[in-house]
């Protein structure tokens, strides 16, 4: 920790704010849970949670909404991290929701399980009676998120109402809810993409290897490189080729684009991210560029 004249660095300030939020939730809620995707933001979240409760173990379980369309490297990585931490992992499966007839699989070349996750997530919340769910969303990611509170109230349908949010003052968070309602909590709301990378470098946090440049079989769609996988149906024009790419975000194989890159170290990733002129979601998420308000619309239905 760097200390000059009782002033903290920006990373120390952000870290302290996030730890405060984790502890506040653990103190005030009965059944919190941490949503984990295996991506960089959720790994930073896990690291912050470990710090908040050290030397005790996490006082809440971790939940992964498994779409069945994950990168295999990320699933493997997830299991290693959870085991190392000694944490309790719950997996809620979109495939199960489909098999149970609760949701219907989309069809066509652009079929994605992105929206189907909402039902799986909300069912899991109901089943486990979670009253607070930590998420790794950041306000710099997307414009709907830039208006969302750190404690984001969800009604008994899991819905977000952007027009009726509780004012959030000082660092006093209002976590009062009725039965069947819950709060989504975003401890890294005020972090930016570059803060996350600088923190990963400083704290030496392990991340899945697909964040680093590697050769992969990809094809081009909507200006993005999508991995050739069993989860995507290619059209005849979409030819597969091998390119040196890396992932800037991690989501489903069906809708997460890769970027051309030679960045093989965290240092090089930070250089690349500092120089880029395109946002991470704009560059790599097919699910976000379907419309101007697609994130807001999904959040209103109960999305992360």
Partner 1 sequence: MGLLRFATAGSVDDGKSTLIGRLLYDTKSIFQDQLDSIEATSIQMGNDYTNLALLTDGLRAEREQGITIDVAYRYFATPKRKFIIADTPGHVQYTRNMVTGSSRADLVLILIDGRHGMTEQTRRHAFLTSLLRIPHVVVCVNKMDLIDYDEQAFEAVKKEFQNFAMKLEIPDLTFIPMSALHGDNVVSRSPNMEWYQGSSLLHHLEQLHIASDRNHIDARFPVQYVIRPQSGEYHDYRGYAGTVVGGVFKVGDEVLILPSGLTSTVASLESFDGPVSEAFGPMAITMRLTGDIDISRGDMICRPNNRPQSSRYVQSMICWMSEKLEFEPGMKLAIKHSTKSSRVIVADLQYRINLDTLHREMDPDSLALNEIGRASLQTTEPLFFDEYRRNRNTGSFILIDEATNATVAAGIIVGSGV
Residues near partner 1, by CB under 8 A: 1, 5-10, 12-17, 19-20, 23-24, 26-28, 50-57, 139-140, 142-144, 146-147, 162-163, 165-174, 176-178, 189-190, 192, 194-195, 276-279, 282-283, 292-293, 296-297
Is the Cβ of residue 173 or residue 247 nearer to partner 1 in the bound state? 173
**Cβ atoms of 252 and 231 closer than 8 Å:** yes
Rounded least distance, CB 290 to partner 1, Å? 13
Is the Cβ of residue 153 or residue 231 nearer to partner 1 in the bound state? 153
**Cβ atoms of 30 and 179 closer than 8 Å:** no
- 214 forms beta bridges with 245
Rounded least distance, CB 22 to partner 1, Å? 9
Rg, C-alpha atoms of the chain:
19
Q: What is the C-alpha separation between 146 and 159, in angstroms, rounded?
A: 17
Coil, helix or strand at residue 155: coil
Is the Cβ of residue 209 or residue 276 nearer to partner 1 in the bound state? 276
Is the Cβ of residue 66 or residue 131 nearer to partner 1 in the bound state? 131
Rounded least distance, CB 52 to partner 1, Å? 7
Rounded least distance, CB 274 to partner 1, Å? 9
Is the Cβ of residue 109 or residue 162 nearer to partner 1 in the bound state? 162
Is the Cβ of residue 170 or residue 215 nearer to partner 1 in the bound state? 170
Q: What is the C-alpha separation between 218 and 139, in angstroms, rounded?
A: 30
Is the Cβ of residue 120 or residue 249 nearer to partner 1 in the bound state? 249
**Cβ atoms of 77 and 208 closer than 8 Å:** yes
Rounded least distance, CB 140 to partner 1, Å? 5
Rounded least distance, CB 43 to partner 1, Å? 15
Cβ neighbours for 97, distance < 8 A, ≥ 6 positions apart: 103, 116, 119, 120, 123
Is the Cβ of residue 98 or residue 273 nearer to partner 1 in the bound state? 273
Q: Element (H or E) spanning 119, and its range?
A: helix 116-128
Rounded least distance, CB 177 to partner 1, Å? 6
Task: Label residue 202 left, alpha or beta by phi (over 0 means left) and psi (-120 to 50 means alpha).
Answer: alpha
Token representation of residue 109 = 């070349």
Rounded least distance, CB 143 to partner 1, Å? 3
Rounded least distance, CB 26 to partner 1, Å? 6
């Amino acid at each position: 920790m760097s200390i000059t004249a009782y002033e903290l660095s920006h990373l120390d300030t952000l870290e302290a704010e996030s730890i405060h939020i984790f502890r506040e939730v653990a103190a005030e809620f009965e059944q919190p849970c941490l949503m984990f995707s295996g991506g960089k933001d959720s790994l930073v979240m896990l690291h912050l949670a470990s710090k908040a409760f050290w030397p005790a173990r996490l006082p809440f379980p971790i939940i992964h909404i498994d779409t069945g369309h994950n990168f295999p490297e990320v699933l493997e990585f997830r299991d290693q991290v959870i085991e190392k931490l000694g944490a309790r992992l719950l997996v809620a499966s979109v495939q199960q929701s489909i098999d149970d007839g609760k949701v219907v699989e989309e069809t066509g070349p652009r079929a994605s399980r992105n929206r189907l996750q909402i039902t799986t997530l909300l069912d899991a919340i109901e089943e486990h009676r979670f009253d607070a769910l930590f998420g790794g969303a950041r306000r710099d990611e997307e414009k709907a998120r830039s208006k969302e509170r750190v404690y984001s109230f969800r009604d008994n349908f899991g819905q977000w109402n952007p027009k009726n949010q509780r004012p959030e003052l000082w660092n006093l968070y209002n976590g009062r809810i009725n039965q069947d309602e819950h709060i989504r909590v975003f401890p890294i709301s005020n972090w930016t993409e570059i803060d996350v990378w600088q923190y990963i470098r400083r704290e030496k946090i392990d991340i899945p290897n697909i964040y680093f440049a590697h050769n992969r079989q990809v094809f081009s769609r909507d200006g993005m490189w999508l991995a050739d996988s069993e989860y995507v149906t290619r059209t005849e024009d979409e030819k597969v080729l091998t390119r040196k790419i890396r992932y800037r975000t991690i989501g489903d194989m069906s809708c997460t684009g890769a970027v051309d890159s030679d960045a093989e170290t965290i240092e090089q990733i930070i250089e690349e991210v500092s120089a880029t002129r395109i946002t991470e979601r704009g560059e790599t998420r097919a699910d976000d560029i379907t419309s101007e308000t697609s994130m807001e619309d999904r959040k209103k239905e109960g999305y992360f």
